[in-house]
A and B are shown apart, each in its own frame.
Chain A
Amino acid sequence: MSAIAVRDLRKTYGDYEALRGISFEIREGEVFGLLGPNGAGKTTTIEILEGYRTRDGGEVDVLGFDPERAGSAFRERIGVVLQQSQLWPNLTVAETHRMFAGYYEHPRNADEVIALVGLADKRDARVKTLSGGQKRRLDLGIALVGDPDLVFLDEPTTGFDPAARRAAWDMIRSLRSLGKTILLTTHYLDEAEQLADRLAVLREGEIIREGTPAELTGGSSETEIRYREDGHEVVIHTSDPTKLLHQLTAEALAAGRELEGLSVRRPTLEDVYLALTAEHTE
């Protein structure tokens, strides 16, 4: 079963084509990452799926609903973490959770959710006294308090320090183990690589690559071999590294030379991403 199905989705703002016909599918229980630089169309996509924006073309199915026309029944089943939003500074963490819990037919217990997002020791603290990372966890808590099947996370760790980011990743993994479907946008590669079962790379409103993190790094790209010869750096890209390496080392051995600084490297997701997103932006 797919939780989200998007076909040929288009959106324009005035003359600007924000989305130029993208298609993808997210299965139930999957963590799907939308990866791309700023302005690629990630937030536009996620906000169309959340029901905030109308589309100009294409078809969208989210949990069996068209988000453009869906009402409370749809919103019972989704949880949303917006890219930027604040909450009431004068309410406590527990009060904020209880207030949001009241909007749902079958909410989760507020204290359980507070514990899940790691705010148990802050449960009676006013929101204005929380740190940035704690506020983000509160955002996640109120997204989960309605016990949603599908959670939208729009750049959930932007602005975090490394420790807070690790903690957030653990939390997202624990959501996955609860069986939630998660759509995540990010411009951090390591985040996408760590969390997503599958991901799509978005650039200028188009999906330019889609697959598992391993497929993205393994599928198309070549192995890089580097060494120094007479003081020059030699870089060779090959799709047949075993044979080439054998030839190189055989020649060097026969000539009694050393292949100085020899390294054999598989491209990381970062290399793939940078190569992909750089192609047209220069």
Chain B
Amino acid sequence: MRLFRHQLKWEQRLFWRSRESAVFVFLFPILLFALLTAVYNGHIQGRPAAWGLLAGMIGYGAANTAFAGLGITLVARREIGILKRIRATPLPPTVYLTAVLFSIMIVFAIQVVSLFALGRVLKSTPWPSHLLSLVLALALGAAAFAALGLAITGFIRSLEGSSAVLNVIVLPMAFLTGSFGPTRNYPQVLRAIGAVLPLKYLLDLINGIYLHGQQFWDKPLAIGVLAGWGLFGMAVALRTFRWEPREG
């Protein structure tokens, strides 16, 4: 526990001190939200557009922070030898990874609070009414994306490519699943692709809870699919996660 707290403290310091992570991981969804609410009017799912965009950006933030941000961080640390170096210390690998995951969860939590506050200031969006349900949904979504983030590091060979690869996955996923606005009018094939992606189910949960006053457990299908993606990510990560850079 002492080691966990020590590592968590340093993970937080590392995150906020790096301009890349602070801007691209933390700030980017917030900036995007400010931009989109400025140009979108009308309604989404029967609610003012800003509400729907807020829900969409929280979902996108989960993917961007817990999946892409975590993946890029771990690939970078692996390729420059930090993960290997950490393995030579008494810090147990599980404690290390747990602290890294918790740290990214903290970043995401601050991001969500900031989005709600910004929505409130800019467009008078309401605070969420079912707070516990929202926290459960976001925790499940972020955990699933973090597992997938761990899994994908095994398939990225170099530091240079990692941010490109992860953004090529996250941005289209966010677009196809409705983070940036409704998908009702998308072609059938794009909607079919969107329907298998984990972000779609996280957005279903967030929309249900925030826009329609539902509870977390009112959407068992979404919970099941997200948990399934998370377990799949875990299973892949256990087989492919590496601590050392590729030789030569």
Which residues of A are in contact with B by a Cβ distance under 8 Å?
50-52, 71-73, 75-76, 78, 80, 82, 84-88, 90-91, 95, 99-100, 102-105, 142, 146
Closest residue on chain B to residue A98 by CB atoms: B10
B3 touches A90 (CB 8 A): no
- B17 is contacted by which of A73, A80, A91, A103 (Cβ under 8 Å)? A91
- Interface pair A87/B6, CB less than 8 Å apart: no
Contacts of A100 on B, CB cut-off 8 Å?
89
24 examples of A-B residue contacts, CB within 8 angstroms: A50-B88, A52-B84, A52-B88, A72-B91, A75-B88, A75-B90, A76-B90, A78-B88, A82-B84, A85-B81, A85-B82, A86-B80, A86-B81, A88-B14, A90-B14, A90-B17, A95-B13, A102-B3, A102-B7, A103-B3, A103-B90, A103-B91, A142-B85, A146-B89
Residue of B with least CB distance to A126: B17
Closest Cβ neighbor of A92 among chain B residues: B17
Whether B88 contacts A80 by the Cβ 8 Å rule is: yes
Alpha-carbon separation in the docked complex, A73 to B92 (Å) = 11
Most buried by B among A72, A90, A104: A90
Q: Is there contact, CB below 8 Å, between B90 and A82?
A: no
B: which residues have CB within 8 A of A?
Answer: 3, 6-7, 10, 13-14, 17-18, 80-82, 84-85, 87-92, 244
The residues of A that contact B17 with a CB separation of less than 8 Å are: 90-91
Which of B14, B81, B89, B244 is within 8 Å of A104, CB to CB?
B89
User: Is the CB–CB distance between B18 and A90 below 8 Å?
Assistant: yes
List of 6 A-B pairs having minimum Cβ-Cβ separation, nearest first:
A85-B81, A72-B90, A80-B88, A86-B80, A102-B6, A103-B89
| CA distance in complex: A90, B14 (Å) | 7
Compute how far the CA of A105 lies from the CA of B3 in the bound complex, rounded to whole angstroms: 10
A146 to B211, CA, bound (A): 53
A85, A88, A146: the one within 8 Å of B90 (CB):
A146
CA distance in complex: A71, B88 (Å): 10
> Are A105 and B14 in touch, CB under 8 angstroms?
no
Most B CB contacts (10 A, CB to CB) among A51, A75, A142 go to A75
Min C-beta distance of A111 to chain B, whole Å: 18
Partner among A71, A85, A91, A95 whose Cβ is within 8 Å of the Cβ of B85:
A85
* Nearest CB in chain A to that of B6: its residue: A102
Residues of A close to B80: CB separation below 8 A:
85-86
Instruction: Report whether B82 and A88 are in contact in the complex, using a CB–CB cutoff of 8 Å.
Output: yes
A20 to chain B, nearest CB (A): 20
